[in-house]
């Protein structure tokens, strides 16, 4: 039996590559005669480069860019054989890279990554903007691309970052567009949240655990107002139609609005799971399998429709393959998940203990996958 193990990260601590390995190890323990293929997925957030590299190979290119305080910060780009360069912005603007910042930081370091990617003369650049603690609607990115001094704190000094980002912006956009000529710039957004509004990027900051950063409601509201002024100022300088189109694009609020800033440069915003599935050739891999094994932290309505699990399930459905899910927890009943094409769901716990509090989450994944294999292998 050919089993395709294709999953995103589990929570914030277990990356997709590790989760896939643990599930494969468990399945091999329960059904040693089966053939296992690991194709990690992602949504454009942390672990993007590792997942794509594990799935299709390519050349890892080490780079060093200016971090949030201007310090040299290492990162890695992935150059694929077809001329695509994959960029994981969380490497320089994620929670780990910013030492658990408690206030939004400038998106300026993303400019260094974009510059480094373009130096590789790519046919296409894919930038994953999920899991960032930046929140300045791309102002830091644009300021850094324009050669202006980096603003280290995108919270207290957000207005300054926006003022720098708007200086000579038409000339900057023209110069950057020239560098991007003939190249496709794709932003893999981990969420399709809007840039502004009651359910926009700033509002999510006030919802615990909704993003990589959580702020008090008053602070989140202050950022919303600052971003609104920034967008209005851009409209005055660039034309309201162009700015309105970028701000209203689905996913413009991803990465604290970094997706919006990149959209102003001509980038296309695409759901991250869809981008990663395409990069790793998920559909063709599913076509050769007999069963798809995947995982998620929480099986809820959002995951069923907007996640790497949903991408794996859709690919499997196209080939009439069963999809088996190992989940940290499941808040949906059998009728709900079966209606979305899932064949079996197996939580790590019985609900009495949160899965994050298990003494050995990795061991629990292996054990659960082994039990699932004994049920499903033929």
Q: Name the domain boundary from 227, 247, 274.
A: 274
DSSP code per residue over 284-335 = HHHHT-SEEEEEEEEE-HHHHHSSHHHHHHHHHHHTT--EEEEEEEE-S-HH
Q: Which structure tokens are listed for 370?
A: 């082994």
**Where do the DSSP E strands lie in the chain?**
2-5, 35-38, 59-66, 72-79, 84-88, 124-128, 184-189, 268-271, 291-299, 323-330, 344-347
Bridge partners (DSSP) of residue 197 are: none
pLDDT reported for residue 147 = 63
Average pLDDT of every residue of the chain: 89
User: pLDDT digit string (tens) for 308-337?
Assistant: 999 999 999 999 999 999 999 998 899 999
Distances (CA, A) of 247 to 6, 44, 236, 252, 289: 33, 20, 14, 6, 41
pLDDT reported for residue 153 = 45
Average pLDDT over residues 101-124: 91
3-state secondary structure 139-150: HHHHHHHCCCCC
User: pLDDT digit string (tens) for 1-49?
Assistant: 999 999 999 988 899 999 999 999 999 999 999 999 999 999 999 999 9
pLDDT band for position 160 (50/70/90)?
low
Q: Provide the whole-model pTM.
A: 0.92
268 phi and psi angles, rounded to 5 deg = -100, 130
Whether residue 176 has pLDDT greater than 60:
yes
Q: Name the domain boundary from 259, 274, 289.
A: 274
Q: Give the whole-angstrom CA distance, residue 147 versus residue 151.
A: 12
Q: Say which range, 64-73, 126-135, 174-183, 192-201, has the weakest mean pLDDT.
A: 174-183
Q: Do 268 and 293 belong together in one domain?
A: no
User: pLDDT digit string (tens) for 180-213?
Assistant: 888 999 999 999 999 999 999 999 988 887 788 8
Q: Which residues contact 255 (CB under 8 A, 6 or more apart)?
A: 89, 93, 107, 110, 129, 130, 132, 134, 189
What is the percent of the chain with per-residue pLDDT over 90, rounded to a whole number?
65
Q: Do 218 and 104 belong together in one domain?
A: yes
Highest mean pLDDT out of 102-111, 136-145, 154-163, 317-326: 317-326
- CATH code at position 71: 3.90.1510.10
Q: Name the domain boundary from 255, 274, 293.
A: 274
Helix crossing, 16-30 with 361-376: angle to 10°? 50
Q: How far apart are the first and last CA of the chain?
A: 7
- CATH code at position 333: 3.40.50.10350
Question: How many domains, in total, are found in the chain?
Answer: 2
Q: Do 163 and 248 belong together in one domain?
A: yes
Average pLDDT over residues 235-264: 91
Whether residue 125 has pLDDT greater than 90:
yes
Q: Give the whole-angstrom CA distance, residue 221 versus residue 160.
A: 18
Q: Do 120 and 246 belong together in one domain?
A: yes
């Amino acid at each position: 039996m050919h089993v395709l193990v294709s999953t995103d990260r589990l929570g914030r601590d277990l990356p997709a590559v590790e989760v896939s390995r643990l599930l494969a190890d468990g399945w091999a323990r329960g059904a040693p005669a089966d053939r296992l293929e690991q194709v990690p997925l992602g949504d454009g957030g942390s672990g993007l480069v590792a997942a794509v590299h594990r799935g299709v190979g390519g050349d890892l290119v080490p780079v060093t860019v200016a971090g949030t305080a201007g310090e040299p910060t290492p990162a890695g780009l992935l150059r694929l054989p077809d001329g695509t360069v994959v960029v994981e912005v969380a490497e320089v603007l994620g929670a780990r890279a910013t030492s658990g910042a408690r206030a939004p930081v400038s998106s300026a370091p993303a400019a260094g990554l974009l510059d480094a990617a373009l130096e590789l003369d790519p046919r296409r650049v894919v930038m994953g903007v999920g899991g960032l603690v930046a929140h300045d609607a791309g102002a830091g990115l644009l300021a850094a691309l324009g050669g202006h001094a980096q603003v280290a704190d995108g919270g207290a000094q957000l207005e300054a970052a926006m003022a720098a980002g708007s200086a000579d912006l038409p000339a900057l956009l023209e110069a950057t567009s020239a560098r991007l000529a003939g190249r496709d710039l794709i932003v893999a957004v981990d969420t399709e949240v809007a840039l502004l509004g009651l359910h926009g990027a700033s509002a999510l900051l006030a919802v615990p655990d909704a993003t990589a950063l959580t702020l008090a409601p008053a602070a989140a509201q202050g950022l919303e107002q600052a971003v609104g002024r920034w967008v209005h100022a851009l409209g005055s300088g660039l034309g309201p139609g162009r700015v309105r189109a970028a701000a209203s694009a689905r996913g413009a609020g991803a990465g604290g609005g970094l997706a919006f800033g990149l959209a102003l440069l001509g980038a296309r915003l695409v759901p991250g799971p869809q981008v990663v599935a395409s990069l790793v050739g998920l559909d063709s891999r599913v076509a050769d399998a007999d069963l798809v094994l995947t995982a998620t932290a929480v099986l809820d309505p959002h995951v069923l429709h907007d996640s790497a699990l949903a991408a794996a399930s859709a690919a499997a459905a196209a080939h009439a393959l069963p999809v088996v899910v190992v989940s940290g927890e499941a808040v949906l009943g059998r009728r709900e998940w079966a209606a979305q094409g899932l064949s079996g769901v197996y939580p790590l716990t019985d609900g009495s203990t949160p899965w994050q509090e298990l003494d050995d989450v990795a061991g629990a994944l292996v054990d659960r996958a082994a039990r699932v294999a004994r049920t499903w292998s033929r």
